[in-house]
Amino acid sequence: MFDRASGSLRCFQILKSLIELGYKVTFISKYERHFERYVPILQQLGVETYAGDVNALAKSNDLIILPEFDLEKIVRDNFYKTIIISFWDNAEYYLPLIRKYSPESNVIVDTVDIVYLRKIREAELKKDQYLIKEAYENKLREIEVYKNSDSLWVVTDKDGEVISEEVKNVPISIIPNIHPKIKNSKIFEETENLLFIGNFWHQPNVDAIDYFLNEIFPLVQKQLPEIKIYIVGDNVPKHLLSLTTDNVIFTGFVQETEPFLKMARISIAPLRYGAGMKGKVGEALSWGLPVVTTSIGAEGMNLNHYENVVIADNPQLFAKEIINIYDDKVLWNKISKNAKIKVEQNWSPERVEINLRKALAGMGNFVMSIIIVTYNALEYTIQCLESLDKSISPDCEIIIIDNASKDKTVEWLKKYAKKEKI
């Protein structure tokens, strides 16, 4: 559900990139919610799609609506070189089945965010001993899943560092969220008010808006009494809806966030706990919409305070920074411009596709094989390989066939093979 949750949007953008890179892609969704909307979109992209895994849903006591599909038959019949499983809890269920049905497949677990880190932070913030115990118990399960994978994808360097402390012998690739380039450039005078985008199935968002409306927004309104906050997202809990006023507007789910991103002067992300790369932050930055967030909200994105984001970690400072940037056109324009540059240089589809190519090539997923046959021609072999090194992409493999050379070709190739995939 790419228009309802950041993790789903990440998955959708990766699927698009994989198709763009020339891979044959099958997508299997455990859930069937809103399948009539999303399945045709994926099929139009060229993605073979199945929604509603009866056995997985039954295991988690979810309502089953769609007819059953045969996971074993799909996996066995297609001989998948690589299978990517998003989220550790999905991997906990599916990984043993994949090992059984297709033991030759390489399995990548896309962590999306490190759930145990988020849960531990939540428990510590709330000082809840039961939640702390539960978080550490779940950590053991999550780490076990990661250890049983063939490769891990993380969204930030920070997440990679955290996991590498626990999982020593599994390759880790950084595949950040993907944010398409936005041609639109925001104009200070054409903007007003504040914006928060986030689904409220995700508890860090519930906490963030509760915190903002009760501890930060009243301070902002003392200086900017006319300012409004638009809160866009699905499944708003009743205790938050009760805080609705003329200046606090909950929109619920919207088909398109673009009108809100165009209109807003500042995006807020007052997250007090979480992990991974925050989709709401990246999306706003891609529009050149200045973001006021916390250290948690900016974590792992290598953002710089007053350069391409504003960071504040207590209610008084958060309110002060909103008030400051709201009326400071020079600072607003600086952050707006630098935010777009940051996204385009680091998280555009073109940039992330380079990461995907490298990560998949590392699993043996090559889109092209170049075969070189040589015999007693070391000088020309070296020239050929040096030329290829400069011109081919990481998802191409080089196969060298030496026809029993009597010069030093074989000796040189053995050394070369240690640092290149040949």
pLDDT (tens digit per residue) in 242-284: 999 999 999 998 888 999 999 999 999 999 999 889 989 999 9
How far is CA 274 from its chain centroid?
14
The SS3 of residue 36 is helix
Predicted local distance difference test score (pLDDT) of residue 10? 84
Predicted local distance difference test score (pLDDT) of residue 8? 77
CATH superfamily, with its number, for domain 188-347: Glycogen Phosphorylase B; (3.40.50.2000)
Q: What is the third-level CATH fold of 6-174?
A: Rossmann fold (3.40.50)
Q: What is the dihedral of CA 274, 278, 280, 283, to 10 degrees?
A: 180
User: Nearest 5°: phi and psi at 291?
Assistant: -115, 130
Per-residue pLDDT of 96-126, as tens digits, reads 999 999 999 999 999 998 999 999 999 999 9
For Cα atoms 381, 382, 388, give the angle at the middle one, nearest 5 degrees: 90
Predicted local distance difference test score (pLDDT) of residue 61? 55
What does pTM read for this prediction?
A: 0.77
User: Nearest 5°: phi and psi at 400?
Assistant: -110, 125
Q: List the chain residues with pLDDT less than 50.
A: 63-67, 421-422
Distance CA 318, CA 256 (A): 28
CA–CA distance from 32 to each of 15, 35, 67 (Å)? 18, 5, 10
Look up tokens 């428990």; give the residue.
123
Predicted local distance difference test score (pLDDT) of residue 240? 97
Crossing angle of helices 329-346 and 279-286, in 10° steps, is 110
H-type alpha helices, 81-189: 88-101, 115-126, 129-147, 157-164
Predicted local distance difference test score (pLDDT) of residue 64? 45
